[in-house]
Amino acid sequence: MNQVPLLQPTGNAGEYLIPALGQKVKLVKWKEDDYFDTVYRALGAITAGTKLKFFTDSVTSKNLQHTNFAQQRRINSGSDMVMSRVGILICQATGNVITDGDDILKAAYSASIQFKIGKERIVAEGPLVKYQTGLGMTGSTVKNNAAVLTTGVPSAAAAPQLLVAQPITDKDDLYADLAFEDGTGLNAAYVMPTMTGVTSYSIFLHGLIKDPQGA
């Protein structure tokens, strides 16, 4: 006698059919974690108006130390997120290159970030120094021309939370631009920063993530 299985996969992530009831159920798991992505900037003078874009089609060519996005602009298929914090980390190293402390300071005060969920919902907008992640290395070093600097205290508990947590679904397009805008409005003698080495920047979206069971 052939037995009808209790659950039959439907082909959608985490979704099963209960034949006896003719109903579908979705098995999920919750975790506190981050979605993140990283962008890169070569050394040298930065032109006013330069923008580095997160979540673009390059996410598919990066590895896990740089991103956990599997598709352009959207979190994993079948997942949902309640985002409580957004932060920018000026990476203290890129591969074998240690980021110069002066470059970190220049970026923190010369660059700004705008993060949007969809085209209209602006969640974060302002200088990088405002959006700390609570991540990074701290301590001291005796190495010449080296510094251990982060934007803010490297403690997740010290990173500011959003006043209102923001929902993100797998249907929402995410936009984040890191921009080096002209500063002559502050002072006519303003000089755009020149980076002595390559710099990388990571955006971290922190909160509760709901994934399909088995994802």
Q: How confident is the model at residue 153 (pLDDT cuts 50, 70, 90)?
A: confident
pLDDT at 141: 74
Q: How many CB atoms lie within 10 A of CB 177?
A: 14
Of all residues in the chain, the percent with pLDDT exceeding 90 is 64
Nearby residues of 110 by Cβ (< 8 Å), 6 or more positions away: 46, 180, 183, 192, 193
Residue 140 CA: distances (Å) to CA of 8, 100, 137, 148, 152: 57, 14, 10, 6, 16
| Rounded mean pLDDT, 109-131 | 95
3-state SS record for 27-41: CEEEEEEEEEEEEEE
In angstroms and rounded to an integer, the radius of gyration of the C-alpha atoms of the chain is 21
Identify which of 174, 162, 197, 134 has the alpha carbon closest to the alpha carbon of residue 53: 174
* Tens digits of residue pLDDT in 6-34: 677 777 777 777 776 677 777 778 889 99
Assess contact for 134 and 109: CB atoms under 8 A. Answer: no
Residue 96 CA: distances (Å) to CA of 49, 195, 198, 199: 28, 16, 11, 12
Does 73 score more than 50 pLDDT?
Answer: yes
Sign of dihedral through CA atoms 149, 155, 157, 163?
positive
Domains of the chain: 28-212 (2.60.120)
* Tens digits of residue pLDDT in 159-169: 889 999 999 99
* Tens digits of residue pLDDT in 80-89: 999 999 999 9
Which 3 state secondary structure label does DSSP give 58? Answer: helix
Does 99 score more than 50 pLDDT?
Answer: yes
Q: How confident is the model at residue 111 (pLDDT cuts 50, 70, 90)?
A: very high
Q: How many CB atoms lie within 10 A of CB 209?
A: 22
Sign of dihedral through CA atoms 112, 115, 116, 122?
negative
pLDDT at 1: 46
Residue 67 CA: distances (Å) to CA of 12, 58, 84, 116, 155: 24, 10, 19, 18, 21
Q: How confident is the model at residue 194 (pLDDT cuts 50, 70, 90)?
A: very high
As a whole number of angstroms, the longest Cα–Cα distance in the chain is 86
